Amino acid sequence: MTPKKITLVAVNVVSLLLPMAAAAQQYDQPSYGRGRYDQSYGGPRGDYYRSWGDGARRFQGYPEFRGIESHIRQEIWQSVRDDMIERDNARDLLNQLQQIRYQEQREFRVHGWRLPDGDRYRLRAQLEQLNHAVDEMRDEQ
């Protein structure tokens, strides 16, 4: 194996392991306000029965992530209204949020309401990373 191939393999392995390590580390540490988001949906794992409204069977996202997703979305739009973030940047941030939502939907198709802890930590880490990116863009102004 050439040094170039070894480097590529090492980079790929690190890129796969880094989000898992970050997710595990962030989940165990008290976050800036994670409890605030989770409490509105019945605790750290959410109240999964609240999402079934009027017999609708369409997946609306895992309840435990709805609070932080809503917070991110509101922060982005408020930043646009306050001229802290340009519309193009806001569109990019909202697209990133949508990609995370697509990942949630894929996980739901595979696991249903029993989301494995590893996937839960990974999704939470991605949401918190996106929230941090929104905060950094706001602070740049």
- Is residue 37 in some structural domain? yes
Q: Are residues 79 and 137 in contact, defined by beta-carbon separation less than 8 angstroms?
A: yes
Positive or negative, the Cα torsion across 97, 100, 104, 110? positive
Is 51 part of a structural domain of the chain? Answer: no
Let me know if residue 52 belongs to a domain: no
Range of the domain at 100: 3-46+58-140
Pair of tokens at residue 55: 């017999």
Task: Note whether residue 53 is domain-resident.
Answer: no
Q: What is the CA radius of gyration of the chain?
A: 17
- The reply to whether 78 falls in a domain is yes
pLDDT(20) > 50: yes
Q: Which tens digit of pLDDT belongs to each residue from 49-98?
A: 444 444 446 788 999 999 999 999 999 999 999 999 999 999 999 999 99
Number of domains in the chain: 1
pLDDT digits (tens, 9 = 90+) for 25-63: 444 444 444 444 444 444 444 444 444 444 446 788 999
The angle formed by the CA atoms of residues 80, 85 and 89, to the nearest 5 degrees, is: 105
